[in-house]
Amino acid sequence: MQSVELGAVADQDQTQRPTDLFLIFAGANIVATTLQIGGWVTGFSFRTAMLVIAAGAIGGAWLVAALAPVGSRLRVPSIVAIRAALGYRGAQSVAVLLFVTNFAWIAVNNVIAASIVARLVSGPAADHQAAWAVAIGVLATITVLGGPRAVGYADRFAVPALFLSGIAMTIACLRTPWPATTAPAASVTQVLRGFDFPFGYQTTWLLMFADYSRYSRSGRRSAVAVFAGLGITALWFMPLGLIASMVAHSQDPGAMVFALGLGWWGGTLLLLGTLTTNFVNIYMSALALKSLRPDTGNAGAVWLIGGVGAALSVLNSVWIEQFANFIGLLAGLFVPIGGLLIAHFLILKRTHAAADLYPGPNRAAPRVGLWSVGGMTAWIAGAAVFYLAAPIGGTLPSLTVSVLIYLGAARVAAGPTRSKVHP
């Protein structure tokens, strides 16, 4: 099994256990940025904030998990599967987006982990955060080079350790006195606007829906594993971030952890969380690069992604300060993609052979076509609606518009004879 394989997985290689798939997604979501999301759900009473977090965490996890069976059925990575709904060139547009934005994800995770390590160590080593960031990035990159199996083995150690650290953090939150908070009753508009943040964060994992589930034979079990991996961890760590930010009076993960007096436990959580989430960030970016440049070697793609992400880590303050804006930007781009994929695979129940998604002999256009007018229109319109509706909550309007436009385009393309023309 190659470290970065763009082709369809052979039937005999669909041997991944649901527990391994669960660990991959759980390991990706047990990270400092998940804590930050809880810290950014502000302006509500504690009860309302918890309800907003829960709704966003569950809703976003469902959107990703609902598409996981597509990977088990088609046996192709996400960046190839979306060709069915957007066309070959349309999917390449998404690949460029994924490739570029994942550099920022890798960098922000490295920055957070390096800053925590610098707080934990003493002496001259504490002054070299950039070096720590590079070392952390290299370790994650080497693991990804070993392929999904190596990532699974690493997660079998890392994720249980993260759960233990999470338990320690939960106990610390329960023991630490919380500052008194008062907030007026929230309006429906405020709640919907707050819902965008946790839901949008969960949706940033959308383009991972098939990358690992393609190695599992059962679509139903894949969906359950993905939903549990994303949902449980978000329902656990976002509220911890909310409480810790109240105690620390800051959304900075390092400040949260040290305000709770966790020391090495907190440092372990953030360091291991960075490694496990960057496993999948590097892997997704490498797949995106290979979909754009199929002749790129596996090792070269992985080293390029991990290396650039580590290099960008030197911009310490930029990534932390712009985190909220970054999540809002990504949510507006990914939420409508989720909507049109739901319309294509779940509502219309479109089926494809894996061969239909790849170029034919002499690089002939794949059977799904180069562009899907309906898919691209749904994506662009959904993104525009998300940003325009952001003051009142963009998630639900964006999902609705992207689904309806895709379904409408499919109906028009089918015509009175109901032919099977791709929209």
Task: Report which of residues 104 and 377 the model is more confident about.
Answer: 377
Look at phi and psi of residue 352 and say left if phi exceeds 0, alpha if psi is from -120 to 50, else beta.
Answer: beta
Share of the chain above pLDDT 70, in %: 86
* Contact assessment for residue 307 and residue 139, using Cβ atoms and an 8 Å cutoff: no
- Alpha-carbon separation of residue 125 from 121, 132, 139 (angstroms): 7, 9, 18
Report pLDDT digits (tens) over 220-253.
Answer: 999 999 999 999 999 999 999 999 988 988 877 7
* Contact assessment for residue 88 and residue 369, using Cβ atoms and an 8 Å cutoff: yes
Residue 397 has pLDDT above 90, yes or no: yes
User: Distance (Å, rounded) from C-alpha 71 to C-alpha 223?
Assistant: 10
**Predicted confidence band of residue 206 (pLDDT cuts 50, 70, 90):** very high
pLDDT (0 to 100) of residue 318: 58
- At residue 285, the 3 state secondary structure works out as helix
Residues 41-62: what's their mean pLDDT?
A: 93
pLDDT (0 to 100) of residue 33: 83
Residue 87 has pLDDT above 50, yes or no: yes
pLDDT (0 to 100) of residue 156: 73
* Contact assessment for residue 110 and residue 138, using Cβ atoms and an 8 Å cutoff: no
Average pLDDT, the chain: 84
| DSSP state letter for 345 | I
Maximal C-alpha separation, the chain:
76
Across 184-325, the runs of DSSP E, i.e. the strands, are none
Task: Report which of residues 82 and 131 the model is more confident about.
Answer: 82
pLDDT (0 to 100) of residue 309: 75
pLDDT (0 to 100) of residue 420: 45
pLDDT (0 to 100) of residue 148: 62
Residue 1 has pLDDT above 60, yes or no: no
pLDDT (0 to 100) of residue 2: 45
pLDDT (0 to 100) of residue 391: 92
pLDDT (0 to 100) of residue 236: 94
The residues spanned by each domain of the chain are 11-316
User: Distance (Å, rounded) from C-alpha 286 to C-alpha 281?
Assistant: 9
Mean pLDDT check: name the lowest of 180-194, 249-263, 322-336: 249-263
User: Distance (Å, rounded) from C-alpha 420 to C-alpha 423?
Assistant: 9
pLDDT (0 to 100) of residue 346: 96
User: Distance (Å, rounded) from C-alpha 216 to C-alpha 13?
Assistant: 8
User: Distance (Å, rounded) from C-alpha 83 to C-alpha 375?
Assistant: 10
pLDDT (0 to 100) of residue 410: 92
Residue 344 tokens read as 């294509």
Report pLDDT digits (tens) over 104-127.
Answer: 788 777 777 777 776 666 555 455
pLDDT (0 to 100) of residue 416: 64
Top-ranked range on mean pLDDT: pick from 183-192, 230-239, 300-309: 230-239
Report pLDDT digits (tens) over 261-296.
Answer: 887 766 676 677 777 777 778 877 888 888 888 887
pLDDT (0 to 100) of residue 121: 66
Residue 50 has pLDDT above 50, yes or no: yes
* Torsion angle, alpha carbons of 250, 253, 258, 261, to 10: 100
Residues 142-169: what's their mean pLDDT?
A: 74
Report pLDDT digits (tens) over 55-79.
Answer: 999 999 999 999 999 999 999 999 9
User: Distance (Å, rounded) from C-alpha 357 to C-alpha 365?
Assistant: 9
Name the residue type at position 267. Answer: G
Architecture of domain 11-316: Orthogonal Bundle (1.10)
